């Protein structure tokens, strides 16, 4: 009798959580490994806001037929070691269905192989190194466009506007993303008839770039190309302007953060950067994203748009898998996502599991990114 009563109260409890008539309340856990501290901390906070907005919208809409999403956000510390630890907790302790992240390509090269070996799908939302990410294996997918998908087109458009013929390049040589961005610049510049006059490097911990910039400025380049994370990038443009460089500066993905503009101040004016998010898109899905972020008091940026899109891609995969949210279901669902309407545009995966949609070119004007049409 007592046993029956207990069963009954359990059934009532479970019943109270039901949101669809015939379906037990189920939660799909998304582990998000984001850089909340360390060299990439400027990106993590807005990524987290984008994820939470998307999770709340999807849960409120009931679009997953009573299935709810839950995001568990942990700090990857912008390092390989912490990224690995966070992945292990997500996989073994939290038993997540899918992992979003980690913020940096560098961290992904170390952490993603663990998810691949454990057969847990990963959706990268900010990794832009063309190599070393999705080629880890079939469980690794990505929303973010690579530097190879963005920089050549952005360079072509910038060159058409400004007509530069020579370049100097400064890049971080201790980070997978900054090095990959440099590799793309090194091949795209000469391919487009722009001669590289000189190249200099720095490390993430450097704060003084005067020696490198002085050597590059002496070559009198038409354009300065910078592959750096936002923190280094803002100090680099400040020091370049202090040294008297007046020409155009073009950056890679690391500069796509409003934090870059805030930290560089007036020195950021005119900086050009290719982006995967066309903030000016009038598409209602994009406008709804922008309004949703502003309503929460968060400035929408490319990183939050990509993270928000990542959650919608996961929801679409769950839907395409028949509203099932197991690890294999989500992986199989990813393979069927096509032309999904997102703030980034119509989103599909390439056969190599990378993201595919239209990139844009933006420029800092009046302390803000402005899309160049």
CB of 140 closer than 8 Å to CB of 133: yes
State the minimum distance, in angstroms, from the CB of residue 124 to ligand 1QQ: 8
Strand partners, 195: 166
309 binds ligand 1QQ (CB under 6 A): no
Among 33, 36, 39, 40, binds ligand 1QQ (CB under 6 A): 40
Specify the residue, 40 or 321, whose C-beta has the smaller distance to ligand 1QQ. Answer: 40
Specify the residue, 100 or 104, whose C-beta has the smaller distance to ligand 1QQ. Answer: 104
CA distance 166 to 164: 6
Among 177, 182, 289, 334, binds ligand 1QQ (CB under 6 A): 177
43 binds ligand 1QQ (CB under 6 A): yes
The torsion angles phi and psi of 70, rounded to 5 degrees, stand at -130, 125
Look up tokens 């070393």; give the residue. Answer: 132
The helix or strand, by DSSP H or E, that contains position 158, with its residue range, turns out to be helix 147-162
51 binds ligand 1QQ (CB under 6 A): no
212 binds ligand 1QQ (CB under 6 A): no
Among 254, 310, 345, 355, binds ligand 1QQ (CB under 6 A): 254
By rule CB under 6 A, what count of residues binds ligand 1QQ?
13
Among 79, 97, 253, 278, binds ligand 1QQ (CB under 6 A): 253
101 binds ligand 1QQ (CB under 6 A): no
State the minimum distance, in angstroms, from the CB of residue 179 to ligand 1QQ: 10
Question: Do β-strands 223-227 and 166-172 pair in parallel, antiparallel, or remain unpaired?
Answer: parallel
CA distance 261 to 42: 11
134 binds ligand 1QQ (CB under 6 A): no
333 binds ligand 1QQ (CB under 6 A): no
Please give the full DSSP string across 75-115, using - where no structure is assigned: E-TTSHHHHHHHHHIIIIIS--SEEE--SSHHHHHHHHHHH
CB of 178 closer than 8 Å to CB of 169: no
39 binds ligand 1QQ (CB under 6 A): no
CA dihedral 46, 51, 56, 57 (to 10 degrees): 100
Q: Interface with ligand 1QQ by CB under 6 A: which range of 125-133, 162-170, 288-296, 309-317?
A: 125-133
The torsion angles phi and psi of 201, rounded to 5 degrees, stand at -125, 165
CA distance 257 to 300: 10
- Separation of CA 335 from chain center: 20
Specify the residue, 58 or 170, whose C-beta has the smaller distance to ligand 1QQ. Answer: 170
105 binds ligand 1QQ (CB under 6 A): yes
235 binds ligand 1QQ (CB under 6 A): no
Site for ligand 1QQ in 155-174 (CB under 6 A): none
For the chain, report the end-to-end CA distance as a whole number of angstroms: 73
Q: Interface with ligand 1QQ by CB under 6 A: which range of 64-72, 124-132, 285-293, 362-370?
A: 124-132
Q: Which residues bind ligand 1QQ (CB under 6 A)?
A: 40, 43, 103-105, 126-129, 177, 229, 253-254
């Amino acid at each position: 009798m007592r046993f029956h009563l207990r069963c009954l109260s359990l059934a009532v409890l479970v019943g109270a959580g039901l949101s669809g008539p015939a379906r037990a309340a189920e939660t799909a856990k998304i582990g998000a490994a984001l850089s909340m501290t360390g060299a990439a901390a400027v990106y993590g906070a807005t990524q987290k806001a984008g994820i939470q907005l998307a999770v709340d919208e999807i849960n409120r809409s009931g679009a997953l037929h009573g299935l709810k999403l839950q995001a568990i956000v942990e700090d990857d510390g912008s390092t390989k070691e912490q990224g690995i630890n966070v992945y292990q907790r997500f996989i073994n302790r939290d038993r997540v269905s899918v992992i979003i992240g980690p913020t940096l390509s560098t961290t992904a090269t170390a952490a993603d192989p663990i998810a691949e070996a454990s057969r847990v799908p990963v959706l990268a939302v900010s990794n832009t190194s063309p190599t070393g990410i999705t080629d880890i294996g079939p469980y690794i997918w990505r929303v973010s466009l690579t530097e190879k998908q963005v920089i050549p087109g952005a360079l072509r458009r910038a060159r058409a506007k400004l007509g530069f013929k020579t370049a100097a390049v400064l890049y971080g040589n201790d980070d997978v993303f900054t090095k990959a961005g440099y590799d793309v610049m090194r091949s795209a510049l000469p391919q487009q008839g722009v001669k590289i006059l000189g190249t200099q490097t720095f490390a993430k911990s450097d704060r003084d770039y005067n020696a490198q910039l002085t050597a590059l400025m002496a070559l009198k380049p038409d354009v300065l190309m910078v592959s750096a994370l936002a923190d280094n990038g803002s100090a680099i443009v400040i020091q370049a302007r202090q040294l008297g460089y007046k020409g155009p500066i073009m950056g890679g993905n690391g500069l796509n953060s409003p934090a870059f503009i805030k930290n560089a101040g007036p020195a950021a004016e005119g900086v050009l950067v290719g982006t995967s998010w066309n903030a000016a898109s009038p598409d209602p899905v994009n406008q709804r994203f922008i309004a949703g972020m502003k309503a929460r008091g968060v400035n929408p940026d490319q990183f939050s748009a990509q993270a928000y899109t990542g959650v919608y891609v996961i929801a679409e995969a769950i839907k395409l898998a028949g509203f099932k949210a197991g690890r294999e279901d989500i992986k199989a669902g990813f393979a069927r996502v096509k032309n999904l309407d997102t703030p980034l545009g119509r989103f599909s995966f390439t056969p190599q599991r990378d993201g595919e949609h239209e990139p844009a070119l933006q420029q800092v004007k009046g302390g803000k990114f402005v899309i160049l049409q």
